[in-house]
Amino acid sequence: MNFAIVGCGFIAKKHATSIDKIDAAKLVAVCDKVPATMEFYKEKYDAKPYTKLEQVLEKEDIDVVCICTPSGFHASIAVQIAEAKKHIIVEKPIAMTIEDTNKIIDACNVNNVKLAVVHPNRFRPVVQELRKIMDRGLLGKISHASCIVNWNRNQEYYDQAPWRGTKQHDGGVLMNQAIHNLDLLLWFIGNPEQVFSMEATRFRNIEAEDVSVGTIKFDSGAIGTVEASTTVYPKNYEESLTIFGENGTVKIGGTNALYFEHLDIMDMSDYEINELKESIKADPWGTPGHQWIIEDMVNANNENRNPAVTGVDGKNALKLVLSFYESAKINQPVYY
């Protein structure tokens, strides 16, 4: 399948590298309003550069377009691509509002094109193993879960581009960093019923939040807590997900949530637990998440199925972030 990338900033290189590693995929075009940003892709991948998306869609034989622009532009670009009958892989968040998200999903449905959202943490080896544990019901009934992202993003990070840290095009730590972990929380625990959140902008000179703490009540009765920040000194400190069940406790942790920090399950022997821990340590990153998602799009097309991370999945993660924002704004619980 032939791929194009729209928006040639930092994250686009992950898409290009992943496309290059997949035999059934080829990067044929890139698009950015700043010509200089496309030189790398032209030289390394022989991708044709365009400054207008309509030129890419009209002149090139494209099957899939990867959207890597600032988040606030996702919706208008995605609708244009869908109307051109091209499949879409869009970086997180899928959009900045539910209204824009619905426009994307509706355009893809009307034009019969596939839509995948980049939530690559689902494909980390340790997360895939936890998914198997949950699918087997080994934890039993869940009482509560904890999601933590305490990272560092200094002022220089936000000053790289004028859209970073804005509410219109980027959002804060929940929208930009912790949304991946919120996606996992939803994937493992289920649908929220009620949320309450407090947030602040403590250290960074940005419009959005740099620290947030919230709680979730799920429709199952389980409780969740979320702690996220980009204020940690001097570097990333912790990314973790802990699930407490009646028959087991699991914590995925470390700086980037790559390892089983705690694994204690009634129906798993010590030998089985140790073997699983060691297998993860041997290859904690596995196949990069972006490569998983791009290859899955190829396979979804060949197998005539939905991608692994759908537009609805992206919408659910966005809705949780926006619910936290609303709760913090009104200082009241928000009901789903």
pLDDT tens by residue, 22-49: 999 999 999 999 999 999 999 999 999 9
Is residue 136 very low, low, confident or very high in pLDDT (cuts 50, 70, 90)?
A: very high
Task: Let me know if residue 263 belongs to a domain.
Answer: yes
In this structure, the answer to whether residues 113 and 21 fall within a common structural domain is yes
User: What pLDDT shows up at residue 336?
Assistant: 94
User: What pLDDT shows up at residue 1?
Assistant: 97
Model-wide pTM > 0.85:
yes
What domain range includes position 102? Answer: 2-120+290-308
In this structure, the answer to whether residues 197 and 331 fall within a common structural domain is yes
pLDDT digits (tens, 9 = 90+) for 150-159: 999 999 999 9
pLDDT digits (tens, 9 = 90+) for 308-323: 999 999 999 999 999 9
Task: Let me know if residue 325 belongs to a domain.
Answer: yes
Which residues have a Cβ under 8 Å from the Cβ of 101 and sit 6 or more positions away?
A: 75, 94, 95, 311, 314, 315, 318
User: What pLDDT shows up at residue 148?
Assistant: 98
CATH number at residue 174: 3.30.360.10
User: What pLDDT shows up at residue 144?
Assistant: 98
In this structure, the answer to whether residues 162 and 54 fall within a common structural domain is no
Residue 126 and residue 119 in contact, taking contact as beta carbons nearer than 8 Å: no
In this structure, the answer to whether residues 304 and 329 fall within a common structural domain is no
User: What pLDDT shows up at residue 105?
Assistant: 98
Q: Number of helices (H) and strands (E), helices first, in the chain?
A: 12, 14
pLDDT digits (tens, 9 = 90+) for 91-134: 999 999 999 999 999 999 999 999 999 999 999 999 999 999 99
User: What pLDDT shows up at residue 252?
Assistant: 98
User: What pLDDT shows up at residue 175?
Assistant: 98
Per-residue b or e along 101-112, where b marks 16 or more CB atoms closer than 10 Å to that residue's CB: bebbbebbeeee
User: What pLDDT shows up at residue 212?
Assistant: 98
Q: Tell me if the bond preceding 93 is cis, omega within 30° of 0.
A: yes
In this structure, the answer to whether residues 201 and 277 fall within a common structural domain is yes
User: What pLDDT shows up at residue 167?
Assistant: 95
Average pLDDT, rounded, for the chain: 98
Task: Let me know if residue 59 belongs to a domain.
Answer: yes
In this structure, the answer to whether residues 81 and 183 fall within a common structural domain is no
CA distance 75 to 107: 10
Q: Any bridge partners for residue 211, and if so which?
A: 200, 229
Is residue 227 very low, low, confident or very high in pLDDT (cuts 50, 70, 90)?
A: very high
pLDDT digits (tens, 9 = 90+) for 231-248: 999 999 999 999 999 999
User: What pLDDT shows up at residue 127?
Assistant: 98
Residue 331 and residue 118 in contact, taking contact as beta carbons nearer than 8 Å: no
Task: Let me know if residue 156 belongs to a domain.
Answer: yes
Task: Let me know if residue 313 belongs to a domain.
Answer: no
Which residues have a Cβ under 8 Å from the Cβ of 46 and sit 6 or more positions away?
A: none
In this structure, the answer to whether residues 150 and 84 fall within a common structural domain is no
pLDDT digits (tens, 9 = 90+) for 170-214: 999 999 999 999 999 999 999 999 999 999 999 999 999 999 999
CATH number at residue 27: 3.40.50.720
In this structure, the answer to whether residues 66 and 85 fall within a common structural domain is yes
Residue 296 and residue 307 in contact, taking contact as beta carbons nearer than 8 Å: yes
In this structure, the answer to whether residues 237 and 250 fall within a common structural domain is yes
In this structure, the answer to whether residues 19 and 107 fall within a common structural domain is yes
Q: Sheet containing 48-50: which strands, arranged edge to edge?
A: 48-50, 26-31, 2-6, 64-67, 87-91, 115-118
Task: Let me know if residue 89 belongs to a domain.
Answer: yes
Residue 173 carries which side chain, given as an amino acid letter?
V
Number of domains in the chain: 2
User: What pLDDT shows up at residue 74?
Assistant: 98
Average pLDDT over residues 218-227: 98
In this structure, the answer to whether residues 137 and 8 fall within a common structural domain is no
Task: Let me know if residue 52 belongs to a domain.
Answer: yes
In this structure, the answer to whether residues 107 and 126 fall within a common structural domain is no
Residues of the chain above pLDDT 70, percent: 100
